[in-house]
Amino acid sequence: MEQSVPPGVPMISGPQVIIMDDKVTLTCTVSSGKPDPSVRWLRDDTVIDETYTIVGGITTNNYTFTASANEQFAVFECQSENGLLQNPLSRTIFVEVYKTPRTPVLTGPTEMISGTPTTWTCLSDGGYPVQTLSMRVGNSAFSTELDTKTAFDRVSQTYTVTGTLSWAPTTANDGQTLYCDVTHPETIGPNNPQTVSLPLTVKSPLDVNAPQTQYNPTTGETISLTCVITSGTATQVRWYKNNKLVIMAANLRLSGGNANTPSLTITQVQLTDAGSYICEATDGSATRNTTTITVSPKATPQQPTLTGPSTVTPGTPYTWTCVSLGGFPEQTMSIRVDNSVFTNEATFKSEYDDSTKAFRVTGTLVWSPDTSYNGQKLYCEVTHTETLGPNNPQTTSLSLTVQSTPQTPELTGPASVISGTSHTWTCISSGGYPEQTMSIRVGNSVFGNEVTFNTVYDESSKTYRVIGTLLWSPTTTHNGETLYCDVLHPDTLGNSPQTVSLPLTVQATPNTPVLTGPASVTAGTSNTWTCVSSGGYPEQTMSIRVDNSVFGNEVTFNTVYDESSKTYRVTGTLVWSPTTTYNGETLYCDVLHPDTLGNSPQTVSLSLTVQATPNTPVLTGPASVTAGTSNTWTCVSSGGYPEQTMSIRVDNSVFGNEVTFNTVYDESSKTYRVTGTLVWSPTTTYNGETLYCDVLHPDTLGNSPQTVSLSLTVQATPQTPVLTGPASVTAGTSNTWTCVSSGGYPEQTMSIRVGSSVFGNEVTFNTVYDEISKTYRVTGTLLWSPTTTYNGETLYCDVLHPDTLGNSPQTVSLSLTVQATPQAPVLTGPASVISGTSHTWTCVSSGGYPEQTMSIRVGNSVFGNEVTFNTVYNQSSKTYRVTGTLLWSPTTNYNGETLYCDVLHPDTLGQAPQTVTLPLTVNTTPQPPTLTGPTTVSPRTSRVATPETWTCVSLGGFPEQTMSIRLENSVFTTEVTTKSEYDQTSKTYKVTGTLFWSPDTSNNGQSLYCDVTHPETLGPNNPQTVSLQLTVQATPQTPELTGPVSVISGTSHTWTCVSSGGFPEQTLSIRVGNSVFGNRVTFNTVYDESSKTYRVTGTLVWSPTTTYNRETLYCDVLHPETLGNSPQTVSLPLTVQGKKSRTHFTN
C-alpha cells in the first residue's frame, strides 16, 4: 500500500509592493504530499480562489487581481491540505499599494510689486507612500522660504503634501517662472517629477511708460509727447532732449511736462524741435525713464523759382537754374521739356541749412535746344511726398523761342561748260528761322529774270528752306569768272550774308597725237619712242601701251601750257627693252580728254619686230657610268629667234646617228627650243674623256658657237660581302666576327649592326686598293660581348656603294643565340606552421635562357600535385622567370624537416642544380581541455577536513602549452600542481593540472575555470577555457525561538523564530504540539550577499487560551540538502493563565 505523506509548506511568490491599477499575480506552490494536496487563497479568512494545477508533483494556485485601494495593507493567505494533518498548512503575504500623486496645483499671484512679501501655495494629494515637494525660480530652489506640511488621509490611504512659499521677489525676477516639483520615485521614477509653474511679472514701485515713441509732425502743428505713470506716484517729472534737460520756461511753445501733467506739448512745431526725448519720473526714492521718443518734423518746400533765357539760338549751350527752399525731409527735383525729363543735361545739388533745419535744392540745366523745341515750355517740378503727397508736385515753367541760323547754302551746277550752250545752276538754303532771303550773281552782276525762287516751311524742324534756280548760256567772256549765291538772315547773321561760289571754265579739244620710233629691234636692247599731243584745254592725259599692257615707269610725260593759244602740249617718251614676247605686237599712244571727247580716246600705233639670242645650252646626263651600259645625255638650247643649230661630240669626234634633234617654236616666248638626245654605251676607253654640245646662231652670235661640256667616269660594283663568326654565344663572354667586301670602285663603305643599332668603337675597318683590278677591299672586325637582350637578334654587315648601288646596301646577316645562367633561386614562405593548416611556399628562379626547370621537396620526397609552376618570358631581358608555388598542409611528422627548391639548367650549369632550403617547425594546437570534479560541495567544518579535488587535462599541443586554474578572476597558485608529458608518437605534450581546495559559502554560485594558453597556435590573448559552476551548500544554524513563556488567556502575543546560514533556502514552521500555525504566522526570507546564505524569520501573532497551558511551542527548520528529513527543532514551554475552559484552535 502506498505510503501517505503530508503536504509541503506552501511557498508564496509575488510582489509585496504594487502600484495602483497594476495587474498582480500571487503564486502559491506546494511540493510533495500523498495524496495530492489542494491549494487555495484566502483574504480575511474568506476563500477567494480555489483553482490549482498539479504538474510533476507540484501543486500551484495563481491568483490574479487588479490593484485598487481595497488591497492596501491586505494580508493574503495560501493554505494547503490533503487530509493528513489536523489543520491546513498556510503561509501569508502582506501587500502595500503604491499610488501616484495627482498633478499638483500651484496658486498665487503672477503680478506683484518688487520687494512685497507674497505667498504661493502648491498642493499635491493622492500619493502613497508620501511624495516630496519642492519649489524653485528657474533652477534656484527655495529652502527656508518654503514650509511643507504632510497629512495622511485614512479614508483614501494617501498622503497630501502642502507647500507654502513666503517670498518677496525683486525686479531681477521679472519675466522668470515659479515652479513646483513633486517627486515620487516609487511610481513615476526618480528623475521624472510632476511640475507646474506660474509666470512672474515683478514691477518696480514706480514705473513710467511712453506708449508712442515716434512723432512726425508738419511744421506749424501742435503735438503732445505722451508720458504715463503706470505704477506709483511721481513727485517730479522732467523731460530731456538729446540728453539735455528741457528748460520749460525758456520756450513758450512748450507746456506740461510736470508731475500733474507728465506729457510734453509742443505748439507751432518747428524743424528745430527735431530730436530724441526722454520722460523722467521720480518719487524721491526711485527714478524711472521712458524709452527714447523720436520727433522728426516735416516742412513743405517754398514754391520753386526757374530762371534762364526764354529766346535762344540752336546749337548754343544755355543755362537754366531752378531753386527750391525750406523742405524737410529733403525734397526731390526734376526739369523737363513738355513730358521729356532731362537726365545727363541736368545736375542737382542739395544743401542742408543747419540754422533753418531745412534743405535747399538747386537744379542746373545746361542744354543746347534745337528748332524742334521752338514754342515749347521748360518745367521745373519739386516733389515732397511727406507734405505734398506722392502725386502733387510744385511746378514752375518758362516758354522757349528758338531762332535758327540757316545752314551754309549749297550751289550746284556745271563748273566747266562749252561756250554758247545753255546750263542750269541751283542754290539751296535750309534751316532758317525766321525766313531767309537769297540772290545769285556773276562777279558783281546780280541775275534778274534768269533766276526763280521757291520757299517751303518744314513743320518737323520748324525752319524755312529757300531754293534759287538759274537758267543761263555763258559765253567765252565768262571763262575764268566766278558764280556766287548770297543768303541774308538779319536775325542771326546781322548784315553778313552767307556766300557760296562756283568757278567757271571754257573747254577745247586736243589735235590728233603723233607716235615716232624704231619698228624693228633686238630683244633685250633699249630703244626710245615719242608721242606728242597739242591744242587741248583743260589739260589732256596720255598713256603708251603694247596691246592692253600700259607702260608705267618706262614712260615720262612733259606738259607745256601755250599762253597764246591757251592750250596744253603733252609729250610722252618711252625708253624700253622689248623681249621676244613682243615680236609682232603693236605699240599704241592714247590721249584722253573727257571734257570734250568723253570716254573715247585719240589713238595712234606702230608695229614691232624683235630678234633673240639663244640661252646658254644645258647638257645633262650621267657623269659617272658603268662600262658597257647604255646611257642617255640631253642638250637643250632655248630662246633663239630665228632658229639656232646644234651638234654633240666627244673631244673632236662629232656623233652622227647616235644623236636625234627636235625643234619646237614657243608661242608664248615667240622663240625656238632645240633638243639633242645622245643614246650611247661608252667603254672604259672613254674614262676621263669630255662630252661637248655646240649651238650656232649667226643672226646674233656670228660664227662663235655656244659650247657646254661634261666629264665622264667609269664605275665598278663591289662583290657580295662575307660575314663570319659564332652564331651561339654565352652572355657576357667576348667574341669576334669578321665582314669582307671586295671589287668596288670608287671605295665602298661598311657598317656592322644588331637590329637597327650600329656598332661604333667595337668595330675596326681596314681598306686596301688593288692596282691590278683597280678596286677596293674593305674588312670590318667586330669584338663584342653580347648580353641576353640580344638573344634571337640578327647581326648584319651593310656595304654602301652609292655610285653603283644607289641607296640600297649589300647586306649579309647572322642569327644570334645568347644563353644565360639563372640567378640563385629564392625560396619564401613560413618556417613555422600549425599542423593541419594549409600554407603556401614560393620559389622563384629568374634570368635563365634557355628555360630552366624546377622541383620542390621535403628531404628526398619531391612534391607532385601540391606544386604549380608558372613560367614567364621577359621580353626586355629575354630570359625566363620560373615560379613554383607549393600549397601544403604539413603534419607534426614533418616537424624539424627541411624544405628544398632545386633549379636545373644543363646549358650553363651541367648536372649541378641550384638549391635553396628552409627548415620547418610544425606547431600543433592543443585539444580543448577537460575539467572534472564536484560541482556541489559542502563547506569545510573543521581544519582537518579533506579538501575537494578537481583535475584539468590538455592534450596534443606543440610546443608545450601552459595551464592555470582560477576561481572567477582569482588564479590558484599553491593549491594547483601541474604535470607535463611529451608523447614521442604524436610529438605533442599532455599537461595535467590538479586542484586541491576547500570552498566556503562565499564561493557559492561562482565558477571554476581552467585556462590553456598556446601563443604559437592560439595567439597571446586567446586561451582555451572550460569551467564548472559551484554550488556550496550550508547547514542552517540552530534556530532561535523567542517570545513570552507565560501569557494571559485571550491576549495577543508575538513569538519570533529565526533560522540563519542555510543554503539553499531552508523552510520554517511553528506549531503547538503537532498543530502547525497557518495565517497567524508570517515569514520573511532575506538572502545575505556577503555569506551567500538565507535568513528566515517566522513571526507568530496569537492569542492562546488556557487549553494551551503547559503545551510546548515548537519551531521546526527543514533543510533536506544538508539535514535530510531531520528537522532542526527548538521549543518554548507555555503557561497560559486565565479561565479554566478551552477553546478549539483551527489553523
Output the DSSP codes for 11-70: EEES-SEEETT-EEEEEEEEE--BSPPEEEEEETTEEEE---EEETTEEEEEEEEE--GG
The span from the CA of 175 to the CA of 199, in Å, is: 7
Q: Is residue 1 part of a domain?
A: no
Contact 833, 894 (CB under 8 A): no
CA distances from 635 to 101, 615, 629, 679, 711 (A): 138, 12, 20, 12, 14
Q: Is residue 244 part of a domain?
A: yes
Residue of 198, 181, 173 lying closest to 141 (CA atoms): 181
Contact 681, 709 (CB under 8 A): no
Look at residue 740 in the predicted model and tell me its pLDDT. 96
Contact 1078, 1106 (CB under 8 A): no
Contact 806, 626 (CB under 8 A): no
CATH number at residue 896: 2.60.40.10
Residue of 318, 320, 325, 346 lying closest to 334 (CA atoms): 346
In the block, residue with C-alpha cell 503561509:
91
Q: Is residue 2 part of a domain?
A: no
Q: Is residue 793 part of a domain?
A: yes
In the block, residue with C-alpha cell 513569538:
1055
Contact 1009, 976 (CB under 8 A): no
Look at residue 176 in the predicted model and tell me its pLDDT. 95
Look at residue 716 in the predicted model and tell me its pLDDT. 77
The span from the CA of 225 to the CA of 211, in Å, is: 9
Look at residue 1144 in the predicted model and tell me its pLDDT. 27
The number of distinct structural domains making up the chain is 11
Q: What residue type is assigned to position 968 of the chain?
A: E
Output the DSSP codes for 282-306: E-SS-EEEPPPEEE--BBPPPPPEE
Q: Is residue 4 part of a domain?
A: no
Q: Are residues 935 and 1027 located together in one domain of the fold?
A: yes
Query: Residue 46 is placed in which grid cell?
Result: 474568506
Q: Are residues 1084 and 1102 located together in one domain of the fold?
A: yes
Say if pTM beats, i.e. exceeds, 0.75. Answer: no
Q: Is residue 1147 part of a domain?
A: no
Look at residue 96 in the predicted model and tell me its pLDDT. 85
Look at residue 144 in the predicted model and tell me its pLDDT. 93
CB-count exposure of residue 577 (10 Å: 0-12, 13-18, 19+):
middle
CB-count exposure of residue 593 (10 Å: 0-12, 13-18, 19+):
buried
Count of other CB atoms within 10 angstroms of residue 518 = 14
Q: Is residue 1144 part of a domain?
A: no
| Residue 68 belongs to domain spanning | 11-98
In the block, residue with C-alpha cell 692596282:
771
Q: Are residues 562 and 589 located together in one domain of the fold?
A: yes
Q: Are residues 944 and 1022 located together in one domain of the fold?
A: yes
Q: Encode burial over 201-217: b for 16+ CB neighbours within 10 A, e otherwise.
A: ebbbbbbbebeeeebeb
Q: Are residues 433 and 376 located together in one domain of the fold?
A: no
The span from the CA of 10 to the CA of 91, in Å, is: 6
Q: Are residues 245 and 281 located together in one domain of the fold?
A: yes
Query: Which SS3 state, helix, strand or coil, does residue 1087 take?
Result: strand
Q: Are residues 686 and 658 located together in one domain of the fold?
A: yes
Domain boundary, last residue among 994, 1012, 1032: 1032
Domain boundary, last residue among 921, 951, 972: 921
Q: Are residues 236 and 310 located together in one domain of the fold?
A: no
Look at residue 419 in the predicted model and tell me its pLDDT. 62
Q: Are residues 558 and 594 located together in one domain of the fold?
A: yes
Q: Are residues 518 and 589 located together in one domain of the fold?
A: yes
Give the single-character DSSP code of 194: E
Question: Can you say how many angstroms the Cα of residue 563 is from the centroid of all Cα atoms in its chain?
Answer: 94
Query: Which SS3 state, helix, strand or coil, does residue 812 take?
Result: strand
Element (H, E) at 770: strand 763-770
Mean pLDDT by 10 residues, the chain (1147 residues): 80 86 92 90 91 92 90 88 87 88 95 89 94 94 94 88 94 92 92 95 86 93 94 91 92 93 95 93 88 94 94 89 93 93 94 90 94 89 92 93 91 84 93 91 92 92 92 76 93 91 85 91 90 88 94 95 81 93 91 90 91 92 83 94 92 92 91 94 73 92 92 84 91 92 88 94 92 83 92 94 90 92 94 90 94 94 95 91 95 87 92 94 92 86 70 92 94 93 86 93 90 92 93 93 90 94 93 89 92 94 88 94 92 78 27
Q: Are residues 841 and 776 located together in one domain of the fold?
A: no
The span from the CA of 294 to the CA of 7, in Å, is: 99
Q: Is residue 701 part of a domain?
A: yes
Query: Taking CA 99 as the corner, what is the angle to CA 96 and CA 102, rounded to the nearest 5 degrees?
Result: 165
Q: Are residues 787 and 704 located together in one domain of the fold?
A: no
Domain boundary, last residue among 46, 67, 98: 98
